[in-house]
Structure 1
C-alpha cells in the first residue's frame, strides 16, 4: 500500500505516496503511514494507520484498494474497541466512554465522556473490587487457617470495619441525583402554559428551525413535540406541550393537557410561559392558572416563569416582580419577546446557570455514574455488603460472609468486565505465609 523505501519504524509518522497494492504505478494519494506493533497499540495487536486527504474519491479509492488484498475486510461496527477489550487494553466503562465520546453533541457531554474513556470510573470501581478481593482473602485464610499463628487476632473485625467504610463510599457514589445520567442523556425541559402564550414559538426559536406548528388557533399543539438542543454547552431535551385551559370538551385536547401536566411534573426544568398582557392586565390570565395543579408546578424546584410578548405592552421588570408577589410566584419572571428576541439572553443565562449548579457533572471532583447499568450492579454490590454486615460472629458467619463478599466483588466486576476467582487466590498466597 505504502510505496517501498526506508524500513518503517514503529510509531514513527512517515510521509509518502500511497499506491495500489496490485499496481505500484497507481498512486492513490500522498499521506502519512504509522505502524504500531503489538502489544503497544489500541487493540493490543499489530496495527497500521493511513492518514489520507479527506476527499470522498480518495477515501473510496484507498478502501477499494485495500479490499483487493486477500484476507482484508472492512471492520465491523465497534470491532477495534471490542478487540481492545478482549486483549485487556480497555474495560467496559472505557468502551462506554468511547461510545459516548463519538456520540457527544455538547461540550458537557464531551468532557464527561473523555473522563470515562480515560479510565476514571474504572479506576474507582476496580479499586473497590480489589479491596473486596483483599477482604475475601483474609476471610478465606481465617476460615481455613484460623488456628495458624500467622493469622493475627482481630482480622475479622478489621474486615468488618473496612467493608462498612467501603459500603458508605458506594452509597455516597450512588447518591448523586443522577447527575451523570442526566448530563449524558440530556436535561429534560418542558414548556407549559395557556394556549397562544408562545410555547411553540419559543421551541422553534431554541431549535432555530420549525419544529412545532405555530398558529393563533387555540389547541393547535395536541401532543408533546420534542427536540434536543445545546443550551450553554449543556444537552437539553426540550418539550413543547399542549396549552392548559379550562372549559375544553375536546377529548383529544384534554388528553394532550393531561400529557402536558405529566411531562411538566417529570421534567428536570420547567418553563411556565404566559402572555404578559393577560398576566399583567387580566390577573392570573386564565382560569387554569388558579388551579392546584398549576400552583403545584410553580412550587416545584427548577421552575421559571416567562412573560412572553413583552413587545406588545409597556412592561418593566418591576411590574413583573410585583405581579409575581401578588400571585405568590416564588421566582422572578423573565420578560421575553419571541418576536424581537428581547430578553432572550437573560432567559438562556438563567437556564444554563441552573443546569450548571444542579447537573454539571463533567467538572465534578469525583466522576458520577453515567449508566443505569452501573447503578444496577452497584446496588447489587451494596445488597451483599449489607448482608455481610448483618452476619453474626463465628466460623459459620465467616463462611457466609465470604460468599457475600465474593458476590459483591462479582457485581463490581460486571461493571468493568473484570471477573475472576484467580485474583482471590493470588492475593491469598501473596499476603499469608500458608503451607510454608
Structure 2
C-alpha cells in the first residue's frame, strides 16, 4: 500500500478518450512531473503533459484528488488523454520511468478501495458482477450490491444483533438489578423475525445463476435436429449440421442473450445405445452428464425416452404431420414454433433466476447468512444466557464475514483477480 500504481482504466485504444489512473502516495508528485504543477484539487484542468526530456506527450484534462476522500482512499490522479494507441503508450511509458511508480495488477485499484474502507466486500463482489454484466438482467441484479443496498441491509441486521447481544449481556452482568432482571418482552419473537428475514434472502436463487447464465441443454438421438436448433437459437452457424448420424461428437456451448436473459446453450452428441464408435461414445457419455446437470433440458426425441424434467420439442415439424398432443412443434427451416420456444425459455429462466429488484446472495454469502441464521435460532432466552450470548456473537461474526470484516487473502485474491488491470 506504500507503492503508487498506475494503469489505463478506460477501454482498449483506439478510443476518443483514454483515462489513466494513478493512485498512491506519489500520485501528486507524478502529476507534477507530467504537467509542471499540481492543479486545483477536484477541479478538471487542461494541461500539457511532458516526458522526462521535456517532450510533449499530449494535451490532456487532468484531475487531482488528495486522499483519503477518493475512490481508492488515497491520493488519486486521473489523466483524460486522447485515446490513440501511441498517445496512451507514451504516457504509460513515461509513468513507468518515474521512481516509486509501477503498473497496477488486475483489480488493484478496487482492492485498495476495499482495504481503505471505501467499499466493503459485498460492494466489491457486486462491482465485479456489474463490470462483467452483458445483459440488462445482469446489470440490474448487480447494481443493488454494487450500490451498497445489500451492505446496508446486512449492517441493519448486524445492528439488531448488537442490540440483542447487549440485552443478554445486561441480564448476565446486572441480574440483581430490578430493571434488568430478565430479557425484554418479545425478545424471542423479535429474534425469530430477524432469523426469518435473513433466511428469506438466503433462500432466493444465488446470483451466480444470473452471472453465469442458465444452461439450456439440447439432447436427443442422432439426427434429431439438435444442432440446427442450436444454430437457430444463436442466429449463427456455430454447430456443423449434416445428414450423417453422429456429426456432433462433443459438447458445444455458447453464451447468448435472449429476451435480455443470459443463457448458455449446450449442443450435445446424439444419444444412441448401438453403432457409436469410441470417440462418439465419449461424446454420448458427456451428453448424459450435461443432461443430468442442465438447468433446462430440451429433449428432441421419442417422448418415451425423455429424461425426467426435460421439455419435449418436436423438431423438423416441416417434415412430419402436425397435430401432436404433446411437446412443442418446431421447424428451423420454416421458423415455425421458434418464437413460442423462445418465449417458454425466457419465462422458465425467470422462474429460476434471482429477482433483480430484490436482494440476493452469491453462494459464499448465502452460506454465511445461513450460518448466522443457525446461530440465531440456537439462542435460548430462557436457558443458559452465556451460551445465548456466544451464539449471538457467532451470528455477528458470520455477518461481518459477509461484508469482509474477516476475509482471507486467498479469497480476496480470487475476487479481485476477476477485475481488469485498470479497475
Moved more, 89-98 or 100-109: 100-109
Moved more, 126-135 or 210-219: 210-219
Q: In the comparison of the two structures, how many residue pairs are matched?
A: 375
The CA distance in 2 between the partners of 1:198 and 1:217, in whole Å, is 12
1:39-50 residue pairs with structure 2 within 5 A?
A: 39-50=68-79
Who is 1:126 aligned against? 155
Q: Secondary structure at the match of 1:110?
A: helix
The CA distance in 2 between the partners of 1:232 and 1:146, in whole Å, is 62
| Superposed CA RMSD | 2.6
Who is 1:9 aligned against? 40
Q: Secondary structure at the match of 1:53?
A: strand
Who is 1:355 aligned against? 349
Who is 1:279 aligned against? none
Moved more, 126-135 or 304-313: 304-313
Residues 320-377 of structure 1: CA distance to partner in whole angstroms, max 9, x if unpaired? xx31x2xxx3x5x14222x454544443333223323442522x2x2111x2111111
The CA distance in 1 between the partners of 2:393 and 2:100, in whole Å, is 44
Q: Secondary structure at the match of 1:377?
A: helix
Match of 1:335 among 330, 333, 339: 330
The CA distance in 2 between the partners of 1:310 and 1:54, in whole Å, is 53
Deviation at 1:413, TM superposition (A): 0.7
The CA distance in 2 between the partners of 1:144 and 1:409, in whole Å, is 20
1:295-374 residue pairs with structure 2 within 5 A?
A: 296-297=307-308, 300=309, 303-312=310-319, 319=322, 322-323=323-324, 325=325, 329=326, 331=327, 333-337=328-332, 339=333, 341=335, 343-359=337-353, 361-362=355-356, 364=357, 366-369=358-361, 371-374=362-365
1:415-430 residue pairs with structure 2 within 5 A?
A: 415-418=402-405
Do the aligned residues in 2 keep the contact of 1:81 with 1:95 (CA within 8 Å)? yes
**Residues 46 and 228 of structure 1: is their aligned pair in 2 closer, same or farther, counting only changes over 3 Å?**
same
The CA distance in 1 between the partners of 2:98 and 2:293, in whole Å, is 55
Match of 2:58 among 20, 29, 34: 29
The CA distance in 1 between the partners of 2:140 and 2:381, in whole Å, is 46
Who is 1:233 aligned against? 260
Residues 92-150 of structure 1: CA distance to partner in whole angstroms, max 9, x if unpaired? 01111122222222222222222211112211122112211221111112111122344
The CA distance in 1 between the partners of 2:126 and 2:280, in whole Å, is 42
Q: Secondary structure at the match of 1:239?
A: strand
The CA distance in 1 between the partners of 2:338 and 2:49, in whole Å, is 52
The CA distance in 2 between the partners of 1:3 and 1:417, in whole Å, is 39
Who is 2:410 aligned against? none
Q: Secondary structure at the match of 2:43?
A: coil
Residues 230-288 of structure 1: CA distance to partner in whole angstroms, max 9, x if unpaired? 222222111111213454465654554444344224322122235xxxxxxxxx5xxxx
The CA distance in 2 between the partners of 1:115 and 1:203, in whole Å, is 33
Asked if 1:54 is matched to 2:83, the reply is yes
The CA distance in 2 between the partners of 1:65 and 1:258, in whole Å, is 56
The CA distance in 2 between the partners of 1:147 and 1:379, in whole Å, is 36
The CA distance in 1 between the partners of 2:336 and 2:48, in whole Å, is 57
TM-score by length of 1: 0.78
Who is 2:166 aligned against? 137
Who is 1:278 aligned against? none
Deviation at 1:312, TM superposition (A): 4.5
The CA distance in 1 between the partners of 2:282 and 2:370, in whole Å, is 37
Q: Secondary structure at the match of 1:367?
A: coil
Do the aligned residues in 1 keep the contact of 2:369 with 2:399 (CA within 8 Å)? yes
Who is 2:249 aligned against? 222
Deviation at 1:90, TM superposition (A): 0.6
Asked if 1:393 is matched to 2:382, the reply is yes
Do the aligned residues in 2 keep the contact of 1:334 with 1:346 (CA within 8 Å)? no
Structure 2 unaligned segments of length 5 or more: list them: 1-30, 408-423
Do the aligned residues in 1 keep the contact of 2:317 with 2:329 (CA within 8 Å)? no
Report which of the two has the higher share of helix: 1
Q: Secondary structure at the match of 1:48?
A: strand
Moved more, 110-119 or 249-258: 249-258
**Residues 132 and 419 of structure 1: is their aligned pair in 2 closer, same or farther, counting only changes over 3 Å?**
farther
The CA distance in 2 between the partners of 1:336 and 1:376, in whole Å, is 44
Q: Secondary structure at the match of 2:126?
A: helix
> Which is greater in Rg?
1
